[in-house]
Amino acid sequence: MKFLSFPLLVLAFGLLICAGSSGDIIELFDEDEEFINSVPNQDTATDSVISEDEVYYGEISIRLESTPDVNNGQKYNPNVPGWGYSIVKSPAGADEARWIMFAWKKVGGEGIMIQFPSSGTWGVQKNGGRYFAGVNAAGWEGIQVSDDAPEEWEVHIRDLYDDFDEFTLSGVALTQYNNVGYYDSIYLAWTEEELKKLLTEMTPVEPQSKLTSTWGGLKSAE
């Protein structure tokens, strides 16, 4: 199992009891196969499919693949239907949040990224509204959350307000750069504790992959 240099918690693979919005939790992607149709855009040929073979938990994840020689393989939509979540310091409404959780894994290549636009526009908030692990092949502004691309599943919990200031989260870009990347378990919440609870409430099942979970960590790209 791969360990990171900053605070982490190793958790068993599990089945999460949560769907859609529940209390202070907002599900952006998990067990919804139709979500893949919400991120149809690409600039470089990128195949996207629902995967049942490689998942963080549950039944499915999103698998993206581009050729090894590109640096901007991704699927994205700056305005996902139904989205428009206010990222604020003290969330109190059903469409407000501060914290995010996401799981990813990289097969081949040296980096992976996830991007969140502000009201349909990319890169306008502090630190660009992006997280990446390993090599930032596209060179877009963002926060590096791991030195290396995750060869096994990693789950990150991040403070969106602290990282990017206030903005309206209207869409997403799943940017595996090249080769293959997997994404799963993307949730918003009012508090860090809600997302930690979400993880620890897993019901253990037979593992399909090793998992490293972390919150905190690097605050800005060097």
- What ranges do the domains of the chain cover? 20-201+208-214
The pLDDT, as a whole number, for residue 220 is: 35
The pLDDT, as a whole number, for residue 4 is: 34
The average pLDDT across 55-69 equals: 93
Confidence check: pLDDT of 2 > 60:
no
pTM above 0.85, yes or no: no
The average pLDDT across 72-76 equals: 96
Confidence check: pLDDT of 102 > 60:
yes
The pLDDT, as a whole number, for residue 198 is: 85
What are the C-alpha distances in Å from 48 to residues 32, 139, 173, 215? 14, 23, 12, 28
At 137-179, the pLDDT tens digits run 999 999 999 999 999 999 999 999 999 999 999 999 999 999 9
What percent of the chain has a predicted confidence (pLDDT) above 70?
A: 80
Confidence band (pLDDT; 50, 70, 90) for 202?
low
Confidence band (pLDDT; 50, 70, 90) for 12?
very low
Averaged pLDDT of the chain: 84
The pLDDT, as a whole number, for residue 217 is: 39
Report the CATH number of the 20-201+208-214 domain.
2.60.120
Confidence band (pLDDT; 50, 70, 90) for 13?
very low
Confidence band (pLDDT; 50, 70, 90) for 221?
very low
Query: Which position has the higher pLDDT, 21 or 160?
Result: 160
Query: Which position has the higher pLDDT, 5 or 35?
Result: 35
Confidence check: pLDDT of 99 > 70:
yes
